[in-house]
């Protein structure tokens, strides 16, 4: 039997304590962007890496405003949210060169929201053949590059784009 190691998931597996407050707001307050995988802070929005990604480079874009409701964003915040999504896509296109993307948001627990109290949009890069027999037969997803390595690559790309 082949063994697949994913040691970064141990934080998720062994963390039995519920985090107090909002996970996204908590990361912003710490102001340790690299440690918390925050790629970009804009005026009303930010980009953060998903630490339990579906694929390498899985990003989340969120407003600073702590709200679960899309309709709570003002016009400027809504516009910036979508320009920040476009920036995230550009960073990923430039650095990881995916063949496509899944973009989406889950509004409410019934819709699949893991962080249901703070609106966020997922950007998941996709490559031809990234769904293979492992997820289908073994219910296992292989991520080939560490979060730290992907963060450094995306951060360097962002710096070059700006």
Range of the domain at 100: 22-156
Whether 9 maps to a domain, the answer reads: no
Whether 57 maps to a domain, the answer reads: yes
User: Which of 110, 117, 122 minimizes the C-alpha distance to 81?
Assistant: 122
- Looking at residue 11, what is its pLDDT? 62
CATH code of the domain covering residue 67: 3.30.428.10
- Looking at residue 88, what is its pLDDT? 98
Whether 71 maps to a domain, the answer reads: yes
Whether 93 maps to a domain, the answer reads: yes
Nearest 5°: the CA angle 53, 26, 144 is 20
- Looking at residue 134, what is its pLDDT? 45
Q: What's the total number of domains in the chain?
A: 1
User: Which of 64, 123, 50 minimizes the C-alpha distance to 91?
Assistant: 123
Place of tokens 């908590």: 26
User: What is the reported pTM?
Assistant: 0.80
- Looking at residue 77, what is its pLDDT? 95
Digit-by-digit pLDDT tens for the chain (162 residues) are 455 556 656 665 666 567 789 999 999 999 899 999 999 999 999 999 998 888 889 999 999 999 999 999 999 999 999 999 999 999 999 999 999 999 999 888 887 778 889 999 999 999 887 764 444 434 555 566 788 888 999 999 999 988
- Looking at residue 13, what is its pLDDT? 60
- Looking at residue 133, what is its pLDDT? 43
User: Quick one: how far is CA 135 from the chain centroid?
Assistant: 20
Whether 6 maps to a domain, the answer reads: no
């Amino acid at each position: 039997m082949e063994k697949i190691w994913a040691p970064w998931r141990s934080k998720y597996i062994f963390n039995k304590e519920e985090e107090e407050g909002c996970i996204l707001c908590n990361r912003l307050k710490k102001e340790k962007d690299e440690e918390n995988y925050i790629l970009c802070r804009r005026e009303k929005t930010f980009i953060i890496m998903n630490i339990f990604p579906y694929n390498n480079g899985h990003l989340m874009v969120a407003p600073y405003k702590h709200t679960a409701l899309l309709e709570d964003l003002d016009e400027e915040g809504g516009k910036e949210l979508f320009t920040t999504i476009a920036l995230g896509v550009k960073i990923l296109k430039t650095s990881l060169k995916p063949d496509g993307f899944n973009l989406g948001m889950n509004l409410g627990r019934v819709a699949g929201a893991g962080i249901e109290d703070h609106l966020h949009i997922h950007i998941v890069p996709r490559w031809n053949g990234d769904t293979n027999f492992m997820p289908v037969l073994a219910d296992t997803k292989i991520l080939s590059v560490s979060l730290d390595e992907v963060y450094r690559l995306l951060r360097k790309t962002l710096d070059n784009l700006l």
